[in-house]
Structure 1
Amino acid sequence: MKAVYIEVKGIVQGVGFRPFVFNLAISNNLAGWVNNDDRGVNIVLEGSSLNIENFIETLKKTPPPLAKIDSLETKEIKAKEYKKFEIKKSETTSNKTTIISPDMAICEDCINDINDKNNFRYNYALTNCTNCGPRYSIIKTVPYDRCNTSMSDFIMCEDCQKEYEEPSNRRYHAQPVSCEKCGPKIALYDKNNNLISEDNKAIKEIALKINSGEIVAIKGMGGFHLICDATNDKTVELLRKRKNRPAKPFAVMFKDIKQLKEFADFTKKEEEIITSKEKPITLIKAKSSSLSFFVAPNIDRLGCFIAYTPLHIILFKYLKNPIIATSANLSDEPIIRQKDELLEKLANVVDFILDYDREIVNACDDSVVQVVNNEISVLRNARGYAPTSLKAEKKTAKKILALGANQKATIALAFEDNLILSPHIGDLNSITSLEYFERTIETFKRFYDFEPELIVCDKHPNYESTKWALKQNIKTVQIQHHYAHALSTMAEYGLDEDVLAFCFDGTGYGDDGNIWGGEVFLANKKEYKRVNHFKYFRLIGGEKSIKEPKRVALSLLFETFSLDEVLKLDTPTVNAFSVNEIKLLHTVWQKGLNAPLTSSVGRIFDAVASFSSIAQTQTYEGETGLQIEQAYDKKIKEFYSYEIKNGNIDLTKAVEELIKDKQKELICSKFINMLVDIIITISLKYDLPIVLTGGVFQNKTLLELVCKKLEKEGKKYYYSKRVPLNDGGIALGQLYSQI
């Protein structure tokens, strides 16, 4: 007989960990206790050595479905001869380190409950248990107890209380547990804030509104969605007009995987992710179907997800078709979490609102992922995956706060051996977004009693996050944008060695004051050296050129030909301007008036879209990249010529060749093949692991081609999978530079 004390850290609260431990201890004939505190879960076991070993082995190998054990430390103690095993009340310490669990999609058991006419939770739209439901979106601080969540005002009825207190029940200490009798209520309002109906009647009525072509807002787990029938051309086009979103694809929600099969093709791996406990929006191949053309104009990929809350499951009982389910927000602002704010900002967009009275404390968007090389690659890190926690090799001496970039902003924290990345915040281009950014910082400070001793931010002087950092009177370190991209991937894999990093994106402030975005670094955790970059070209009109690819293409023509030669060219780019416009823009280009220099690969994609007549203007970030990828033909193996001189990757020859080709498939294929060749050619000069990072590598075709070639050459390579390759991963990279 012996006694042990066990300390478990990780995602171990709000995930049914204590009842799992209780039942495991009972089955192994062990006495003692288990409790929560601000650091994790504590267990005392008394019994035979063999039974204790069995207990620890089972806990490590098969923890509860939503748990993630980061560390499990055991020490022998003196036995107190407990008579039974019990669950003790949570304790509070002065050092909060327990990891917050992300929100999770509804589990099969809860789906069965809401579909069972004999169950007292039949058709209850806010059902959950320890294996599913809201976590991050309802928590105010740790430990994760009901009094610290937005469920604190709802007093459990007798039936719910019984389940909540029974350790063998899957709702034991499920903090949001409730039912129709004692829990939050569903209510339907019109856009004038008049109450129309409540409970299940409200869900039926809003389904009828959707079926008849209305645009509505429905409160999801972490914020409101704008919803309409995804097969109704007239309605989806109207939503685009009302939302002022001309072409950016909408996410589509389906009843289940069976319904999704009618509208899209997907691999076994994609199905596994779509039906996983996280149920993210997954980018998959659309097939010709009755979905409206306006869901994703000119794109053959769909952002698809299946119903992930009990409210969605019940809603689909009354719907005829799949639905658009896009974040309810104004452009560049975060997802809206309160009805009154929605009425204030989007009353001209929606006709009706379905709300419930459980507060969303922390807004959280839907995650977006795709499958690359038969593995998940996270594009937007949010519901189901975030907050994301990683373990550092060693403990940091300081509490560090990293502020990320200006687009796809996230924040990250380092304390002890924890690295924590927040959910997606959004672009910091509005007062509302900045308020949300500051609120997220305050939320995470509250979670962990965290006061930063060091702040890390970007070098860009005009980033709102940088401005905020420099006002804090706390020691601040500024990290170059593309170096942070490289470090982000290194952090995910715990790399502490020299790497060759290809950092390709749209925009980042360079060390020389120019706009970088096509960089090759020799880098490690402490320093970097820029060994190659795409030869600078001018962005005519600065920011305006980002929305007008034709300006970028014209700039590359000016780099390659004289003005007279450009005027004589018969290309889609030249034909998109008048002669006077070209002459005027040539003067702007020559004099460098509002025409900053850039090495950005993202902007080169824009230029290729113009040259190939795919797009002369674009309405959302990444539009040209998606369309170029769609035009790629894997049967075409040729690539455009280029030169590497004094570290400069010079595309002059490529431009000369490219304008002679007329077919968009040929242009796009030879361009992507050229990028692959550039990466491989430079990689072979160094005996180092390769890092591929930055938003350009979200291009699935490009990334898979590069990986295949690197494997063929026997090169070790890394790209981010759990953390976004885009600016959503920057905060983690900034953090990694300081630990």
Structure 2
Amino acid sequence: MPVRHRIRIKVEGIVQGVGFRPFVHELAGRYGLAGFVGNDGDGVFAEAEGEADSLDAFVADLGLRAPPLALVERVTTCPADPVGEFGFRIVDSVPGKKRSTLVSSDMATCADCLREVMDPGDRRFGYAFTNCTHCGPRFTITLDVPYDRHNTTMSGFALCADCEREYHDPSDRRFHAQPVCCPCCGPSPRLLGADTAAVPGDPIRTAAAWLKESRILAVKGIGGYHLAALAGDEEAVRLLRARKRREAKPFAVMAPDLAAARALADFDEAAAGLLTGPRRPIVLAPRRAGAPVAEAVAPGAGELGVMLPYTPLHHLLAARLGEAFVLTSGNLSDEPIIHRDDDALERLSGIADGFLTHDRPVHVPADDSVVRVFLGREMPLRRSRGYAPVPLTVHRPFPRPVLACGAGLKNTFCLAEGTRAFPSHHIGDLESHETLRAFTDGVAHFRRLFGIEPEVLAHDLHPDYPSTKYALDLAEAEGLPTIGVQHHHAHLASCLADNGESGPVIGVAFDGLGYGPDGTLWGGEFLVFDLAWYRRAGRLETVPMPGGAAAIRQPWRMAAAHLHAAYDGRPPELDVIRRHGDRWEAVTALIRSALNAPLTSSAGRLFDAVSAIAGVRDEASYEGQAAVELERHVDPHESGAYPVTLSCGDPLVVSCADLVRCAAEDVRAGASAGRVAARFHRGLAAAVVEAAVVLRERTGLAAVALSGGVFQNVTLLGLVVSGLERAGLRALTHTRVPPNDGGVSFGQAVVAAARDRGEEPAPLP
């Protein structure tokens, strides 16, 4: 008789909630193996008994043939004594003392489930919560691990006989699918009027009819509530803006299918792949001329953010409408997405004319992710639903567990241990009680979910960031050491680790503002750095920021500061000066007195200034609006570039005065905003490349990392990357975390780890 062997197996990674145990069960049957498989706090455990060759092939296939949503990080085996059993079974989950299992992100409805939803002969026809092991809610419904039904918000829905049969049938794709349900036993959609009274009839059919009547609806999705209006209905979209108090920031649009999406914006093959993939983010793409959407959807923006349906409810609503509709976060301006039903009914009642809701609780709020394509690769701008909480692997392990608390705006936090970093879902701007509560709740949930207890806390150097205060308070409460990380070093470290490198390299960090150790507000920085340390090797020329934070909301103030510096206090007559009359004199007085006018090297504020000088945007209703609209005006046929002087001291200084004077003189000569915008972008990009070349000559370094929110501007980024490559330099850009402040927590975490390893400050070249 053949000799039987037995092995114990441990599989780590994203292996719960993705059909991994059924896959193991089926695979064992294929190889004629006996044994069992189950979940525990570390992932999946199994024992298998059979012939040696079959066991070897079985173990190899665990990684090679895993289900589509699984991410197998490690398979380990050890020998065990054969027990002579026959048959392979799935056993009950075993909670572990130490948790290291991973939780899948929420995934879009798969093709098989969608076919059932649209098939009149299927028992799930028209059912808005259809899912299987290959799709559906995961992270946002998970209360705890192991990932079993009783540890999710589906625990209150008892399986009917049919679903129970599917759940226990190894040949069914719903075998041990924890959120499995049907119209007989699962969640139910409901439509409520503005008075929150239930509306009779088919909720989705009536909701679609209401949208066609120019009504605004709150729609409950996987990660919380959205606000919906017909995208082509100018009156409805403007009303939504007024009620939401969101003056101009673009709204996202959901298109029924890829063909409808391509009627709205230009999606190349890579962008179309992101649109139709299982993560279903919002994808930014150039808006098509004549796109059937209201101007109020994205006023002043050259791009549209488009997504495709990612839940059966969205598919059913989109099919009823037959056209694109706005689907924007259900919140008041600058607050986190609302995910609790009572909060939604109370706080959205002044915005929505009705509520398309349901009775499956959302445990973790998750905004839609936002991405764009740059040079054929994905660049995340907001990493949330569909991506979080999937970890990022780092090539050097964290010596001790780290909690990095992130920045003040576009906040994420990052919990890290071993070779895994877990950037959180998008939290938002920590300026309201609601957002700060989402931050603290999120940290507590991640600590519990992944069983990681931080031993080091990383934070920004800005003492007034709520995230910094949280870190310092937690450090005092739990007796933990802290590591402060300079904002722009964190940006660039995130880019370096995003690319799997350690440095040293040259770094260019362009953003709005960050706390500088010299007492100024940084934002246009050239660093020579590695993961542990940095040296400021260059910067943009500094100017006052008159009125402090008021200058962020009023770009014309930055125009006043830059014109004052460029013309030694005597700028020529320009329209931007005439538009602001007496206020201009008051602001220039602030500049001369240096009162409430901190110095800044910010690239973002330079964009603001040129935008106002060119007549594009004087007042901003959201962060970066002036820069976004300046980029939109770029004339693609203009090949000229403003000349820029580089002061080659140490640190080197890029002259903003040159760029501003050239822009002002072009405006005086009657140049269009498109010409000014194009020449400015080209001039600044050339200056970045020239500075990088000088730093290469000084340091011998040939790679340049590009990070910070300004590098979301693909016009500037493309010009810089192509210029660096022509100069023989290697450009590093973001592909896994955002270049904006959403990536700062990941950067803080890897810097803290490098310093925790005892990497002493070395003389950087």
Q: Given the alignment of the two structures, is residue 154 of structure 1 paired with residue 163 of structure 2, yes or no?
A: no
Contact 2:216 2:236 in 1 (8 A): yes
Deviation at 1:36, TM superposition (A): 1.1
1:290 pairs with 2:300: no
SS in 2 for 1:660: helix
Contact 1:679 1:706 in 2 (8 A): yes
AA matched with 1:678: A
**Helix, strand or coil: the match of 1:505?**
strand
Write out aligned runs for 1:305-324 (5 A).
305-324=307-326
* Cα offset, 1:320, TM superposition: 4.1
Query: Is the 8 Å Cα contact of residues 572 and 610 (structure 1) preserved in structure 2?
Result: no
SS at 2:12 equivalent: strand
* Partner residue of 2:362 out of 350, 357, 360: 360
2:487 corresponds to which of 469, 481, 486: 481
Q: Secondary structure at the match of 2:62?
A: helix
* Corresponding residue number in structure 2 for 1:658: 663
Aligned mate of 1:734, from 748, 754, 759: 748
Q: Where does residue 122 of structure 1 map in the other structure?
A: 125
- How many Å separate the matches in 1 of 2:173 and 2:726? 49
Given residue 587 of structure 2, which amino acid in structure 1 is its aligned partner? L
Between 1:584-593 and 1:653-662, the stretch displaced more is 653-662
Query: Hey, what does 2:7 align to over in structure 1?
Result: 4
What one-letter code is carried by the residue in structure 1 that aligns with 2:115?
N
Match of 2:71 among 68, 73, 77: 68
SS in 1 for 2:321: coil
Mean Cα deviation higher: 360-369 or 661-670:
661-670
| Partners of 1:541 and 1:594 within 8 A in 2 | yes
Determine helix, strand or coil for the equivalent of 1:432.
helix
Counterpart position of 2:520: 514
Aligned equivalents of 1:48 and 1:492: distance in 2? 43
Confirm or deny that 1:78 pairs with 2:81. Answer: yes
Residues 186-216 of structure 1 deviation map (CA, whole Å, 9 limit, x = unaligned) = 1111122211236xx1111111100111011
Per-residue CA deviation, residues 506-549 of structure 1 (Å, 9 max, x unaligned), is 01111112111101111112110000011110111111111111
Q: More displaced, 114-123 or 337-346? A: 337-346
Q: Which residue does 1:443 correspond to in 2?
A: 445
Contact 1:4/1:46 (8 A) holds in 2: yes
Give the one of 25, 30, 54 matched to 1:27.
30
8 A contact 1:365–1:383 mirrored in 2: yes
Q: CA deviation at 1:165?
A: 1.1
Partner of 1:266: 267
For 1:316, give the aligned amino acid.
A
Q: Does the 8 A contact of 1:550 with 1:576 survive in 2?
A: no
Structure 2 partner of 1:102: 105
| Corresponding residue of 1:414 | 416
**AA in 1 matched with 2:653:** N
Deviation at 1:691, TM superposition (A): 0.6
Cα deviation for residue 736 of structure 1 reads: 0.4
SS at match of 1:217: strand
Corresponding residue number in structure 1 for 2:254:
253
Q: State which of 590, 600, 603 in structure 2 corresponds to 1:601.
A: 603
Give the corresponding residue for 2:758. Answer: none
The one-letter code of the counterpart of 1:518 is G
* TM-score where L is the length of structure 2: 0.94
Pairwise CA distance, 1:380: 0.4
The secondary structure found in structure 2 opposite 1:625 is helix
Partner of 1:188: 191
Match of 2:678 among 669, 674, 678: 669
After TM superposition, give the deviation of residue 81 of structure 1 in Å: 3.1
- Give 3-state SS (helix, strand or coil) of 2:467's partner: helix
For residue 173 of structure 1, report the CA deviation from its aligned partner: 1.5
TM-score (norm 1): 0.97
Question: Aligned match of 2:143 in 132, 140, 144?
Answer: 140
Aligned residue type for 1:730: V
2:481 is equivalent to residue 470 of structure 1: no
Q: Which of 329, 333, 340 in structure 2 is aligned with 1:338?
A: 340
- CA distance, structure 1, for counterparts of residue 633 and residue 178 of structure 2: 49
Contact 1:576/1:616 (8 A) holds in 2: no
Matches of 1:560 and 1:625, distance apart in 2: 20
Deviation at 1:562, TM superposition (A): 3.9
- Structure-1 separation of matches of 2:636 and 2:291: 25
The Cα of 1:231 is off from its aligned counterpart by 0.8
415-424 vs 580-589, which moves further = 580-589
Q: Distance in 2 between matches of 1:93 and 1:115?
A: 41
Deviates more, 1:1-10 or 1:410-419: 1-10
The letter for the 2-side match of 1:672 is: H
Q: Indicate the residue corresponding to 2:763 in structure 1.
A: none
1:505 Cα shift? 0.4
Q: Is the 8 A contact 2:646 2:691 kept in 1?
A: no
1:394: how far off? Answer: 4.4
Instruction: Give SS of 1:577's match.
Output: helix
Instruction: Write the distance in 1 (CA, Å) between the matches of 2:481 and 2:77.
Output: 38
2:171 counterpart residue number: 168
Tell me the equivalent position of 2:756. Answer: none
* Equivalent-residue separation in structure 2 for 1:117 and 1:38 (angstroms): 41
What is the CA–CA distance in structure 1 between the aligned matches of 2:626 and 2:215, rounded to whole Å?
31
Offset at residue 463 of structure 1 (A): 0.3
Cα deviation for residue 633 of structure 1 reads 2.9
Tell me how far apart the structure 1 counterparts of residues 122 and 436 of structure 2 sit (CA, whole Å): 45
Contact (CA 8 Å) 1:38, 1:96: kept in 2 or not? yes
2-side partners of 1:27 and 1:196: how far apart? 52
| 1:232-247 equivalence runs, <5 A | 232-247=233-248
Deviating above 6 A after TM superposition, structure 1's stretches of 4 or more consecutive aligned residues are: none
Deviation at 1:46, TM superposition (A): 2.5
**1:70–1:391 Cα contact (<8 Å) kept:** no
| Cα contact 2:245–2:332 (8 A) shared by 1 | no
2:529 maps to 1:523: yes
Residue 691 of structure 2 aligns with which residue? 682
Query: Separation in 2 of the partners of 1:643 and 1:126?
Result: 60
Contact 2:190 2:358 in 1 (8 A): yes
In 1, Cα distance between the equivalents of 2:575 and 2:494? 39
Report SS of the residue matched to 1:737. helix
The equivalences for 1:297-308 within 5 A come to: 297-308=299-310
8 Å CA contact 2:458, 2:484 repeated in 1: yes
**AA of the residue aligned to 2:561:** S
Residue 424 (structure 1) aligned to one of 410, 426, 430 = 426
Q: Bigger CA drift: 416-425 or 152-161?
A: 416-425
Q: Distance in 2 between matches of 1:439 and 1:376?
A: 30
Aligned equivalents of 2:260, 2:711: Cα separation in 1? 31
- Once structures 1 and 2 are overlaid, which stretch shifts more, 630-639 or 301-310? 630-639
Deviation at 1:448, TM superposition (A): 2.4
For structure 1, the 5+ residue unaligned runs are none
Q: Which residue of 2 aligns with 1:703?
A: 717
2:562 corresponds in structure 1 to 556
**1:490 and 2:499 are equivalent in the alignment:** no
Change (3 A) 1:678 1:2: farther
The amino acid of 1:242's aligned partner reads R
Match of 1:264, SS state, is coil
CA RMSD of superposed structures (Å): 1.5
Aligned equivalents of 2:495, 2:65: Cα separation in 1: 29
Aligned equivalents of 2:501 and 2:157: distance in 1? 47
Could you tell me which residue of structure 2 aligns to residue 434 of structure 1?
A: 436
Distance 1:492 1:406, change over 3 A: same
Aligned length: 733
Distance change (3 Å), C-alpha of 1:467 and 1:211: same
Shift of 1:299: 2.1
2:248/2:299 contact within 8 Å kept: yes
Cα distance in 2, alignment partners of residues 254 and 134 from structure 1: 21
SS in 2 for 1:167: coil
1:127-169 deviation line (CA, Å, top 9, x unaligned): 1111111111000111111111111111100001111111221
Mapped partners of 1:423, 1:143: distance in 2: 21
Cα deviation digits, residues 284-317 of structure 1 (max 9, x gap): 1222133111111122311001111000111123
1:543 to 535, 539, 549: 549
Provide the rounded CA distance (Å) in 2 between the counterparts of 1:248 and 1:348. Answer: 20
Instruction: State the 1:480 CA deviation.
Output: 0.6
Describe the SS at the equivalent of 2:438.
Answer: helix
- Which of 449, 452, 455 aligns to 2:454? It is 452
Counterpart residue identity of residue 210, structure 2: K
